[in-house]
Amino acid sequence: MNLIKVFLAAPVLAILVIPFIKVKGKGIAVFSAIGLNAFLSGALALQTLGGQSLEFLFSGSLITGPVNLRIDAISGWFILIINFIFITGSFYGLFYMKAYQKQKNNITLHSIVFVLLHTSLISLCAVQNSLVFLIVWEIMALSAFFAVIFEHEKMATLGAGINYLIQSHVSIVFLMFGFIWVAIKTGSYDFSALTAYTAQHPGASGLVLFLCFFIGFAIKAGFVPFHTWLPYAHPAAPAHISGIMSGVIIKIGIFGILRMVTLIKTDYYSIGLVILAFSVISGLYGVMLAIVQHNLKKLLAYHSIENIGIIGMGIGIGCIGLGTNNHLLASLGFAGGLLHTLNHALFKSLLFFTAGNVYQATHTLHVDHLGGLIKKMPQTALLFLIAAIAISGIPPFNGFISEFIIYSGFYYWMQGSMIGQLMTIIFSVLALVLIGGLALLCFTKAFGIVFLGSPRQKFHHEVKEMPFLQLLPLYFIAFFIVFIGVFPQLFLNVIAQPVNVLAGVHLSGGIPFPEKASSLMQPVTWGMWIFILIILALWGFRKLLMRNKKITTDVTWGCGYVAPTEKLQYTAGSFVRSYSKLFRPLLLSSKTEKEVERIFPSGGSYETHIYDRIEKYLVDNPIASYKSLLGRFLFLQNSKLQFYILYGIVFIVSVICIPLFYDQIVLFIDFIKKI
Amino acid sequence: MLSLILILTAALFFTGIIIRVKSIASGRKGPGIFQPIYDVVRLFKKGVVYSETTSFIFRIAPTIYFASVVMAMLVVPFGKTKGILSFDGDFIFFAYILALGKFFSIISAMDTGSSFEGMGASREALYSMFAEPAFFILMGSLALLTGYTSFHEMFVALHIGSYISYALAILGTFVLMMVAMIENSRMPIDDPKTHLELTMVHEVMILDNSAFDLGLILSAGYLKFAIYGAIVVNLFIGVFPLQYSIPMFFVIQFVLASGVGLIESFMARFRMSHNAQFIFVLTSVSLLIFFGALLILGKFV
C-alpha cells in the first residue's frame, strides 16, 4: 500500500519540481523519477512472475466505486518491458535532447509528459476499474501526444500529432462504449463485472463486446486497417519517444487485448480466427509498405505494424488453443506472442535510437541522401545491424526465437485439424514466411543504403559517432537481443507464469508450459551455439591462412568503367524496384518525371511517392466526403453576430418547446403510422 | 554423422559433374570432375584484394555465409540416421539459418558501392523471398502427412505407397530442385556462365571478392547443391537399409547433377522480369502437394 503511495508521489513531486530547475537538472529529475518508479513497480512485477498475484483495494470515490489494483503475471511482464524501455529510452533521451537545450519551456513540458507517460503506462497494467482505466488511458494518450509534438514549430509534426490525437480518441470511444455497456448491465465498474456479464450471457453479446474492445485496443496497437496514425506519429517524434512509442505504447494495445482475453468469457475460437485474420493482414501490409518507404523512421514505423501482426498471430493461435481446449497450442501461441512483444520492444527501440543517432549526425532521415555511414559511425552501424538481423527473424538473435515458437504453434495446430483449419494454417504460414522474406529485403535495403557503400551526399558539417554514454543504453538493449537469442530457455521460464495465466493451465491442471517449450528450444540453443562456434573456428582459420598473404586495397571493380561516382550506386528506390513493379497493384504510387530532352538539356528529375491505399480509402475519402457534406452548411457561419444570436434563440426556444409539444408530436407520428 | 560425410563427399564431385556434362554436351572433353575443388584450393593460397569502399562487413560476410551453409548441413538427416542436430521444427531453423547467410551476402555486395553488385543484391533478395514459401509449404505438407515436424522423423515416416504419393514425391522433387536452383543461382533462374554483368544475379554479387573469401563462397555453393540433393534423396530412401540407401544416395545425386548439366546445356535462362513470377508459381505447385496430402489423409470434406 505504501509502495503505491510512493509510486504516485514520485511523479507528482517530479512534475512539481521540474519547472523550477535548470535544463540539465530536468533530465536528471526525469531519469531519477522514472528510475525510482521503475524500481518500485519492477519489484512488484518480479514477484508476480514467480507465481504470486498482488491485489490492493482502494475505497475510491462515489463515482468510481471501489478501485481495485491487481498485478498478475501478465501485468508483471508488461510492466517489466515498459520499465526496461523507459529506463534505456530516458537515458538515451538525456543525450538526444542536448541539441534542444535552448528551448527551455519546451523541455519542461516534455519532461513532465515523459514522467506522466511512464506512470500512466504502468498504472494501466494494474488498474482494474474501468472508469479509472479510461481516465488513465486518456492521460496516457494526451501525454503521448505532447511528447510527439516536441518539435511543434514544424507543420508536419503538428499534423502528425493531431492525427494521432484524433485516432486515439476514436479508440477511447470504442473502449468507453464497451465499458459503459457492461456498467449499465451490471452496475459495476470493476473489471470482474466483464467476466460476470459475459459468463451469464453466452453467445453473440460477448463476441460483440470483445470486438468492440479489440477495435479500441487495435487502434492503439496499430493493426491494419487502424494503423494510419502510426507512420506519421513515429517519424515526427524525437528519437527516444519514437523508440518508446513503438516499443511500449503500442504494446499497451496488445496488453489490452490480452487482458480482455482473460476477462471476457466467450467463443475463443472465433475470436482467435478474427485476431489471426487481422494479424496476417497487418503483418503483410505493414512490411509491404515498409519496403518502399524512403524515410528511415517511417520505414521503421511500418515495421512496427508488421511486428504487431506477428504478435497478433501468436495471440490468435493462443485463443484458438483456448477455444479448442488445446492447452499446449494455447501456451505455444501466447508464449510466442508475449516473447515477441518483448523482442519487438527491444529491437525496435534499438532501431529507432540508432536512427536517432543517424539523424543527429547527418540531420536527415532520407535514406537516399545517406550512405557509407559505417566508416564514420561504426558502433551505430553495428547496433543497427544487430537489430536489423533480429527484426528479420534470423538466428542467432531473439526475433528468431519468438517466430520459431509461433511457427511451432502453427505446425502443432496442424495435427488433427480438418480442411478449413488447415487452409487457415497454411495461408498463415505462407504469410509469416513472406513477412520474413520481405523483412529481409527491407532491412538489407535500409542497412545497405544508409550505412554501406560511399556517401551519396556531402554534408557541410562533420559526421561523427555519438559519445559512448549515449551508446551505452543501446549496447544494453543489444546485449539482451543477443542474450535471448542464445539462452532462450531462461526467458521461457520467465514467461511461464503469464502464459499459464493466459492459457488457463492452472484451472485445467494441464501440462505446465515450460517443460514442452524448453524441450522445444533446447536443441535450437545447441544449434545457435554450434553455429557461433563454426563462425569463430572459420574466422580463426581465415586469420591463420591470411597471416602472411599480401593484402591490397584498390577501387571497386566497375566492370571496366574507371571513373564511377557515388551517384552510380544503387539507391533505395532502385534496390526495391523489381519488388515495387511486382506489387504495384497493391501499392499506391505516383511519380513525377521530367525527362532529359534535346541537345542542350536543362536537367531532368524523377520523383516517386508511395501512399497508403488503406489510408486513402478508409480515412481520406470518407473525411473528404464528410467535409463536402458539412461544406453545404457553411452559409450558417456567416460571421454576423446578429445571426449567431438568432441561432441561440432558436435553439433555446426549441429546447423549451419540444417537450411542451411532445404529446402532440407523438400523436402526429401515430397518425402518420396509421395512414 | 553419416549424412554429414555423405553430403561432403557429394559436394566434392557434384559441381564437377555438372561442368563435365555441360562440356560433353557441347562436344568438348572438359576438365576433371574435381577441378572446382582445385580452384578453391588455388584461391585459398592467393593474396587478397579489397575495395577501398568496403568495411568490416565485406570481410566477415563470406565467413558467415559459409558457416550458415555448414550449419544448415548439420540438420539434414540421411534415411534412418539422424543429422548431427535433429529436433522439432528443424526445417524452420534450416531455412532461417540459410537466410542469415543470404542477408550477409546481400549486404556485403552493397558494401562495395558498385551499382552492378547492388543490382545482383536486389535480385537475390527478391528471389530468395519468393522461393521460401514453396519450401515451407512443402515441408508443411510433409508434416501434415506424417504428423512430425523434424526432417528426420518426417522422412522416416514417409511411405510411398499409392499413386497420389508417387505424384507428390515427383512434385516434391521438382519443387526442391527448383529451390536448389534458385538458392544456387543456376539455370533457369540465373546463368553462372553469362558474360554480361547486367544479366547476372549471384555472380555479380561476388565480383569484388577474392582469395580465401571467394573460395569460401564457391565451396558454399557446392555444399548447397549437395544439401538439397540430400534432401531430395531423403524423400525416397526412408525405408531402405543402409547397404541400399548409400549407393542410392550417390546414384540420385549423380542423376541430379547430370540433369542440371543437361538443363544448362539445352535451355536458355528465363527473362529476368519473368523470374519472380516463375518462382511464385513454385508456391502454387507446393500448394498442389498440400492438397495432395489432404487427399491422402481423406481430409477433403
Q: SS3 sequence, A106-133?
A: HHHHHHHHHHHHHHHHHHHHHECEHHHH
How far A450 CA lies from chain B's nearest CA (Å)? Answer: 10
Residue A626 placed within a domain: no
Inter-chain CB proximity A394 and B96 less than 8 Å: yes
Inter-chain CB proximity B63 and A550 less than 8 Å: no
This prediction has a pTM of 0.92
A143 and A6 share one domain: yes
pLDDT along chain A (675 residues), means of 10: 81 86 85 89 85 80 81 90 92 87 87 91 90 92 92 89 92 92 87 87 84 92 88 90 90 92 87 92 91 90 92 92 85 90 93 92 87 88 93 90 90 82 89 91 91 85 86 92 88 83 64 64 86 91 85 81 78 84 80 82 80 85 92 86 92 88 85 85
How far B38 CA lies from chain A's nearest CA (Å)? Answer: 17
What values do phi and psi take at B149, rounded to 5? -130, 20
How far B113 CA lies from chain A's nearest CA (Å)? Answer: 4
Of residues B46, B121, B299, nearest to A422 (C-beta):
B299
Write down which residue in A531, A554, A575 finishes a domain.
Answer: A531
Residue A550 placed within a domain: no
Please determine, for residue B283, whether its predicted confidence score (pLDDT) is greater than 50: yes
Say which residues have a Cβ less than 8 Å from residue A483's Cβ, sequence separation at least 6. Answer: A398
Inter-chain CB proximity A418 and B301 less than 8 Å: yes
CA distance A165 to A575: 35
- The C-alpha angle A274, A276, A281, rounded to 5 degrees, equals 100
Please tell me the predicted confidence (pLDDT) of residue B78. Answer: 85
CA dihedral defined by A139, A142, A146, A152, rounded to 10 degrees?
Answer: -170
Of residues A419, A422, A440, nearest to B125 (C-beta):
A440
How far B208 CA lies from chain A's nearest CA (Å)? Answer: 6
Among B residues 10-29, those touching chain A with beta carbons less than 8 Å apart: none
Residue A355 placed within a domain: yes
Inter-chain CB proximity B140 and A426 less than 8 Å: yes
Say which residues have a Cβ less than 8 Å from residue B174's Cβ, sequence separation at least 6. Answer: B285
**Mean pLDDT over residues B257-264, rounded?**
88
The total number of structural domains in chain A stands at: 2
Please tell me the predicted confidence (pLDDT) of residue A384. Answer: 93
CA distance A187 to B242: 74
Annotate A398-416 with three-state secondary structure.
HHHHHHHHHHHHHHHHHCC
Query: Taking CB atoms and an 8 Å cutoff, what residues of chain B touch A403?
Result: 96
Q: Whose CA is closest to A54, among A135, A121, A119, A125?
A: A125
Among B residues 47-66, those touching chain A with beta carbons less than 8 Å apart: 47-57, 60, 63-64, 66
Query: Taking CB atoms and an 8 Å cutoff, what residues of chain A touch B137?
Result: 426, 429-430
Query: Taking CB atoms and an 8 Å cutoff, what residues of chain B touch A328?
Result: none
Residue A79 placed within a domain: yes
State CA B260 to chain mean position distance.
12
Residue A114 placed within a domain: yes
Inter-chain CB proximity B133 and A430 less than 8 Å: yes
Inter-chain CB proximity A582 and B276 less than 8 Å: yes
Write down which residue in A531, A547, A574 finishes a domain.
Answer: A531
Residue A557 placed within a domain: no
Among B residues 110-139, those touching chain A with beta carbons less than 8 Å apart: 110-116, 118-119, 121-123, 125-126, 128-130, 132-133, 136-137
User: Is A487 exposed, middle or buried, given 0-12, 13-18 or 19+ CB atoms closer than 10 A?
Assistant: middle
Of residues A385, A414, A453, nearest to B113 (C-beta):
A453
- Mutant choice from A332, A557, A574, A583 vs B, greatest count of B C-beta within 10 A: A557
How far B271 CA lies from chain A's nearest CA (Å)? Answer: 13
Per DSSP, what are the bridge partners of residue A611?
A: A588
Cα distance between the two ends of chain B? 43
Please tell me the predicted confidence (pLDDT) of residue A509. Answer: 47
Q: What residue in B sits closest to A527 (Cα-Cα)?
A: B85
Give pLDDT tens digits for B130-156.
888 888 988 888 888 888 888 888 888
A519 and A657 share one domain: no
Please tell me the predicted confidence (pLDDT) of residue A650. Answer: 93
Residue A613 placed within a domain: no
Percentage helix, strand, coil for chain B under 3-state DSSP, each rounded to 5: 75, 0, 25
Q: Can you tell me whether residue A187 is helix, strand or coil?
A: coil
Sign of the dihedral defined by the CA atoms of residues A161, A163, A166, A171, in that order: negative
* Residues in chain A, overall count: 675
How far B197 CA lies from chain A's nearest CA (Å)? Answer: 8
A181 and A321 share one domain: yes
A559 grid coordinates: 566492370
Write down which residue in A463, A497, A531 finishes a domain.
Answer: A531
Inter-chain CB proximity B301 and A419 less than 8 Å: yes
Answer for the pair A618, A228: CB distance below 8 angstroms, yes or no. Answer: yes
B252 vs A562 pLDDT, higher one: B252
A15 and A133 share one domain: yes
Q: What residue in A sits closest to B213 (Cα-Cα)?
A: A542
- Mutant choice from B43, B87, B286 vs A, greatest count of A C-beta within 10 A: B87
Say which residues have a Cβ less than 8 Å from residue A306's Cβ, sequence separation at least 6. Answer: A282, A283, A284, A286, A287, A290, A435, A439
Domain extent at residue A303: 2-531
CA distance A248 to A433: 25
Inter-chain CB proximity A434 and B71 less than 8 Å: no
Residue A17: which H helix or E strand, with range?
A: helix A2-17
Query: Taking CB atoms and an 8 Å cutoff, what residues of chain B touch A539?
Result: 60, 63
Of residues B49, B57, B125, nearest to A552 (C-beta):
B49
Which stretch of A498-512, A609-623, B102-116, B259-273 has the lowest confidence by average pLDDT?
A498-512
Residue A571 placed within a domain: no
A26 vs B66 pLDDT, higher one: B66
Please tell me the predicted confidence (pLDDT) of residue A591. Answer: 79
Which alpha helices (DSSP H) does A248-372 contain, by range?
A: 250-263, 268-291, 296-323, 327-362
Inter-chain CB proximity B114 and A414 less than 8 Å: no
